[in-house]
Amino acid sequence: MADSGEFVPFRFKVSLYHSDSNELLCAGYFSEVTGFEITMEPKTIREGGRNWGDHQRAGPTKFAPMTLKRGVTSVNDLWSWFDITTRQNFYGYRLHGEISVLGNPTAKPLGGSGKGAHGGQSVTENPVMVWKLNGVMPTKFKGPDLNATANQVAIEELQLVHEGIELQRPAPAGA
């Protein structure tokens, strides 16, 4: 059973979908995600005769690259997507996706009388918030250093650029 003090090493679930069909193409779990940064550069407009400051208007918005670190995936789909985008297609194959911030896992009883691996309970993910990404394209893939004595993960670092980000909070449980 999962308790509130249980350590969950892969707290961020990344899912990437085909832009047209919403078919899941890539997925993985990561220990660290950075790059939640949006910068808007305001446009300053000076008005003749107005001596008390300039007019400030919204300007272009820039999104920082997302960096996913220390991840695992059950298949090599993230590598395949990076390989297709960077080597085989010159235009960059873009997806849309989401990064789910997972809370502590919750356990619920399994149906039937048989005991499972978790003492008759299944462990389910508990998303706390979900970041939606548009126009995602990989720009860097770094695998782990190969060392027979090290306990490394399958993906050391994956860097993504995107064309937009949106925060969605799941509905509270029982709502």
Domains and CATH numbers, the chain: 12-40+57-168 (2.30.110)
* Residue-level pLDDT at 94: 85
Q: Residue 134: CB partners within 8 Å, gap ≥ 6?
A: 96, 162, 163, 164, 165, 166
Cα-based distances in Å from 97 to 25, 46, 74, 171: 10, 41, 18, 19
Backbone angles phi, psi at 77, to 5 degrees: -65, -35
Q: What is the pLDDT of residue 172?
A: 65
- For the chain, 175 residues long, the average pLDDT of each consecutive 10-residue run is 53 87 86 92 90 91 92 74 71 85 69 50 73 90 75 77 89 62
Model pLDDT, residue 116: 46
**pTM across the whole model:** 0.72
pLDDT of residue 93: 78
